[in-house]
Structure 1
Amino acid sequence: EHADSLSIVSLADHLAKLTSRDLQRLETKVPLQTLRAVVDLAVEIGREGREGKPVGALFAVGNHRKVLAASHEQVHDPFKGYSQKDRMVNNPRVKESMKELAQIDGAFIISSDGVVQSAGRILNASAEGLTLSKGLGARHWAAAAISKETGAIAIAVSESTGTVRIFQDGYVVLRIEPMSSAMKWFDFDTEPPQSE
């Protein structure tokens, strides 16, 4: 038999589309706007690294008081002493600083309203009872553990692959592969047109 038609689907374009619904499925009090800002930053770090070198990162979003209590300072906190406005994750200058600071060990602790509370924190949550895929390192175990212990959403960027994994309650709930171009968001918050 001969094919009478051929469809070409750009898988890269399809995979680069993350919908707001994907994040809305997470059962969290963290606003969608904050999650999107942190996920965008994580994907940029995974895709670009820093100055051509691969970089990993770890973000704990929401329940920041519990996360701070379950962590300790690795380095002097680079965000200490700045106003809330100067620590907002959606501020382009803050994002650039975070990309630079991702090169140091430790997690970024971000409140539900998008304020970076601290950076360079070592997470002390226990990974006991957790199960992760082979090949995931300490950053991913720390993300899983802190999400389980505190209820925060944890986002880990793999230094070796650039893959972004989102953790909730100790489990990977979303995985985003690195893209060659910026991620596209699609909102489905509007109602469909009414038929007459």
Structure 2
Amino acid sequence: MAPSIKFTEQLQVFCEIASRMAKHEEADALLFLIEGTIDWQKLRDATGKHHVILASDRKQHLSKAEDFDFDTVELNIPDSPVYERLTQALLESVADDLLTPGATVIALYSGFEVGVIDSMSVVSLDEHLGRLTVHDLRQLETRVPLDTLKTTVDLAVDIGREGREGKPVGTLFVVGDHRKVLKHCHPLGFDPVRGYNIDDRRMEDTKVRESIKEIAQLDGAFVVSSDGTIISACQYISAPAAEITLSKGLGSRHWAAAAISRATGAVAIAVSESNGTVRLFQNGEVMLRIEPFRRAMKWKDFEYDPPSAGD
């Protein structure tokens, strides 16, 4: 059973202050980082008509919240610092079209005592978030399911932003039309995913995504089926690159991405090793570009003048 957070007088006051701050800052939403269930009706009464997003590491903490017109975001980084959880909550909110990339958010969270909402911040999101919105991906005319495309893009952005062990990492994902894609590939030696069961190669699994980040340090491309299964890794792409034109400065990985997307019905997602930029290729052309998201947001200090000694 999920732990319950008591709706205290302090929480009531925080909601009232957050509402006034949202009006002052013309904020787009209130974001609550919660660690248990709350009396949703009292929370809705306290927040009025504001757009409220609830984020938690556990799905059961968000149970029935949507019945009270709250949007919910499930996180997957338990025991991480508050800053990292808030960052993921904001990223996922943008990726799910709950917030716009330029939104201002009033965030409420437990900064000092577990289970007690005792801190509040005004957060202004950058205009270049390092995540695509669902709306952006829907613009692509492809047979690759949206969920598979979004999962792969999010993973590529993570690799571009984080690298591995402090070092930048570049890689390439070729998604969809995998049987035809494989006709243009040959392994660069050892294939790390060969021999594993299908269930152990699905990108929806967090452990699989973490393993992919490790494998991405090796040369070669990942071939991904339309249902999000890693078919092979460390593949050399040898599709013809005739009549393809790319911007100056893009290397062999991007040429391979353009070529394979021209020769097949796949979408190629290339991560630049030099700066972490992610590019989506379709039919030999760059369709979308995502810059690495290294500074999640700008934190605004409250305008507060401490009392003078004479006060």
| 1:113 maps to 2:113 | no
**Taking structure 1 as the reference length, what is the TM-score of the superposition?**
0.85
* Code of the aligned partner of 1:14: E
Task: For 2:126, give the aligned amino acid.
Answer: D
Q: Secondary structure at the match of 1:140?
A: helix
In structure 1, how many angstroms separate the alpha carbons of the residues matched to 2:160 and 2:133? 19
CA-atom RMSD in angstroms:
1.8
Is the contact made by 1:46 and 1:161 (CA closer than 8 Å) also made in structure 2?
Answer: yes
Q: Which residue of the partner structure matches residue 189 of structure 1? A: none
Partner of 2:182, secondary structure, is: helix
CA distance in 1, matches of 2:196, 2:295: 32
1:18 pairs, out of 129, 132, 141, with: 132
| 1:56-84 deviation per Cα after TM superposition (whole angstroms, max 9, x unaligned) | 01000000001111110112211111111
Question: Is 1:44 aligned with 2:44?
Answer: no
SS of corresponding position for 1:18: coil
Given that 1:12 and 1:179 are in contact with CA atoms closer than 8 Å, whether structure 2 keeps it comes out as no
Amino acid at match of 1:39: V
Report % sequence identity. 60
Aligned to 1:135: 249
Q: Residues 97-116 of structure 1: CA distance to partner in whole angstroms, max 9, x if unpaired?
A: 11011111100000000000
1:1-196 to 2 correspondences below 5 Å:
13-16=126-129, 18-180=132-294
Moved more, 60-69 or 16-25: 16-25
Question: SS where residue 100 of structure 1 aligns?
Answer: helix
**1:130-166 CA deviation, whole Å, 9 max, x = no partner?**
0000000000000000000012000000000100000
Question: Which structure has the bigger radius of gyration?
Answer: 2
What is the CA-CA distance between 1:181 and the residue it aligns to?
Answer: 5.4
User: SS at the partner of 2:210?
Assistant: helix
Aligned-partner Cα distance in 1 for 2:263–2:241: 9
Instruction: Between the two structures, name the one with larger relative contact order (CA 8 Å, sep ≥ 6).
Output: 1
Mind listing any 5+ residue stretches in structure 1 that lack a counterpart? Answer: 1-6, 183-196
Residue segments in structure 2 that go unaligned for 5+ positions in a row: 1-25, 27-101, 104-123, 297-311
Q: Which amino acid aligns with 1:20?
A: V
Question: Structure 2 CA distance, aligned partners of 1:181 and 1:86?
Answer: 33
Segments of 4+ in structure 1 off by > 4 A? 9-12
